[in-house]
Structure 1
């Protein structure tokens, strides 16, 4: 199987027939592509019989405007070309699609809201690596699973536009709402494109905290990273944990961005204090005893399932807790690797470190150096965090029946250097927080394209 990156030139249908494509003479001879005979041209789910004609001293591919429109390709796109003689088929790709929560057609400069810059960066990276990407939402999913209405970026006029696109080789599920992801139309679409077109879908679903901890508890190699935790089913579970630990945390099983976390601490004199995350900061409440605290929780427990977790004596910088976000992705060989790890330092008004709660980012080395971690453990902190993130990602892949291509793994470290898992996020945030630099694409974006290429055989 031979591969090559080629530039696509779209020309007038009056000059070139819609079932003819033109390839460079050198490429035709090198790959022994039969010119003048019917072949199949494939791009995602798109397949059409075409005839190849030879062009001397040319290194790309030319096709008619009508053929390009049917394929959803704009002129000057760069794609990988694969020829399989046994199938008499020329494949162009990889065609990647990203399923996002919503679009804003009335905002042409920012049609995807806060993730528009990420989408643009992905387009630029695809052009450089020889791939093609489009974006679609649950609203674009219709009864047919042969085509989908999607957004592409047309570099020739610098604008986003909507086209009817073939089903992609790979779907990256970037939905940020469980409600949207669980819509019957979305689930039916994802199931059907896998069956009908062999489409690969990664980050197929959200993870909940209890599911992750239950899966990881089975293996002693990763169990050591887990704080003691249970699903908060009744008062007895609360009593057991609060008697065992001076501080425990209640975390919504399906929560994110630090929303709804409650810190319960046993007071020296008597009673218990709770700290809750709110939009305006931290809410503090006092309870005389655990039964009264549990009674105060009953209303919340009717609508929210909580995981109760052992409180940890984490490292801090000036009394501001520090934890770490590792982005772990599958690479061009289909293997997990750590793309990045950053330290997150909590805002002075919050006890959680999420950026949505006013936390700040720092390089791991700098944060560790400034922290109260015992000195002997500082030198190896970064490598230990990387090992923990990889161990956890691999075990989730083995034990949870779903396809993941990237995971955001939140880790913490106590003052003795022991590493703890806080949570795992299967939809790491892509919100805009840095200026787009077209000369320097982030490693995380490159990795996503390389894994998609690996999956689709390009």
Structure 2
């Protein structure tokens, strides 16, 4: 394997012309780079003819401030290097663009709010692995698809013009932003014009996921019965089959707006509504009255109706599991982490935003009321998460590099799929680790390197 990580040093333009770069002579020998002849320097969408000068007893690369500015590089940085003799191209990268929802220029220490730490970890991870990462929002996208205005880290967060990247990690957290005309146009253009690869291209709707996975017979054992709630007939049929059913907003997240419908003690039905303050309970004399209340919400929200499950519990609090499944350095799905999430005392959903708590899978299973299969519960959850990720990839025509897969165990030990999130939170699913750079962050960079050939 050829060595490819090179320390790129930015020096004064007065010491080096903008069309020339200096490179340790061992690099020229290793990659058979011609000295003193014009080659095409490529960095993301950036292209420029340069001459390469060999430097004896030197292991890095030197470029002028003027050239660095055109490349969007504001300081010394380690990059990966390749030389393609067929096209006389010297490639530097990977250049990774992370598309985020918003920035806060007035807060220089936390320009990306709650995901600033994740962004900084990506910068540090690129420094370790070799690569360059920047962050941009829909507002940074202009009419020129060769470049964007992006945030880079060089002794602090700064904004500068950067070339369109080799890889875009779509971290937009709102469908409204993702569907903006300028965002869709930019992503389409950079794919066609620059060969950019975009992963986590789109949000997944709950109905879309379950309908797609139903087509794969190997996954049927994980799927609770699930339908788009169109009318009273569907609610009545599902409520007659199961002791309780869940109504989940098709486009919801963080447990918002979930309703649990069950038969009330004695007679009638009750609905539990998930709210930020806790669960709100409402009694109804019959199912028709309950549906009348829900149908007013259905004018603005589409619901997925799902078979209720007898989830394992710890001290009467339901437990589920969030698996973070990511593509690795060879492009294969792998498990980065699985954590158990126990619902808060006033809630029936387990999201941290609703007061839930994280623990390790083994600890949660050991404390739970699971009656069978405790010993291999963790491995069965992992197997399910990997199969479901592959099922999503096979059945849904979009590129995903990471998925948050929510799973459950019922009291008999059967694994069930609850939902799949194509924009897994960088706060909510943090593995229980003290490492500076999370494994999930390292994996994003490794997969970006795989996709870009670096």
Distance 2:287 2:182 in 1: 45
SS of residue in 1 equivalent to 2:255: coil
Aligned length in residues: 454
SS of residue in 2 equivalent to 1:14: helix
Are 1:344 and 2:333 counterparts?
Answer: no
> 1:225 maps to what in 2?
222
Distance 1:153 1:436 in 2: 27
Distance 1:361 1:337 in 2: 21
Distance 1:238 1:75 in 2: 60
Match 2:396 to one of 394, 397, 400: 400
C-alpha deviation, 1:414, in angstroms: 0.5
Q: 1:128 to 1:437 in 2, by over 3 A?
A: farther
> 2:133 maps to what in 1?
133
Match 1:307 to one of 296, 304, 307: 304
TM-score by length of 1: 0.97
TM-score by length of 2: 0.98
- Contact 2:2–2:30 (Cα < 8 Å) also in 1: no
C-alpha deviation, 1:246, in angstroms: 1.3
Distance 2:16 2:316 in 1: 70
> 2:59 maps to what in 1?
59
C-alpha deviation, 1:146, in angstroms: 0.6
Q: Spell out, residue by residue over 1:362-398, the C-alpha distance to the aligned partner (whole angstroms, 9 max, x if none).
A: 0000000000001x41000000000000000001000
The ranges of structure 1 where at least 4 consecutive aligned residues each deviate by more than 3 angstroms after the TM superposition are 432-440
Decide which moves more: 386-395 or 261-270.
Answer: 261-270
Distance 1:284 1:201 in 2: 43
Are 1:241 and 2:269 counterparts?
Answer: no
Task: Name structure 2 gaps, 5 residues minimum.
Answer: none
Distance 2:284 2:433 in 1: 52
Match 2:253 to one of 252, 256, 260: 256
SS of residue in 2 equivalent to 1:410: strand
Distance 1:436 1:309 in 2: 30
- Contact 1:115–1:432 (Cα < 8 Å) also in 2: no
SS of residue in 2 equivalent to 1:398: helix
Q: 1:352 to 1:433 in 2, by over 3 A?
A: closer
Are 1:112 and 2:112 counterparts?
Answer: yes
- Contact 1:141–1:186 (Cα < 8 Å) also in 2: yes
Distance 2:10 2:397 in 1: 43
Task: Name structure 1 gaps, 5 residues minimum.
Answer: none
Distance 2:10 2:375 in 1: 56
Q: Spell out, residue by residue over 1:30-58, the C-alpha distance to the aligned partner (whole angstroms, 9 max, x if none).
A: 32211111001000000100001111110
- Contact 1:118–1:432 (Cα < 8 Å) also in 2: no
Distance 1:409 1:248 in 2: 20
Distance 1:325 1:237 in 2: 29
Match 1:414 to one of 403, 410, 415: 410
- Contact 1:121–1:436 (Cα < 8 Å) also in 2: no
C-alpha deviation, 1:187, in angstroms: 0.6
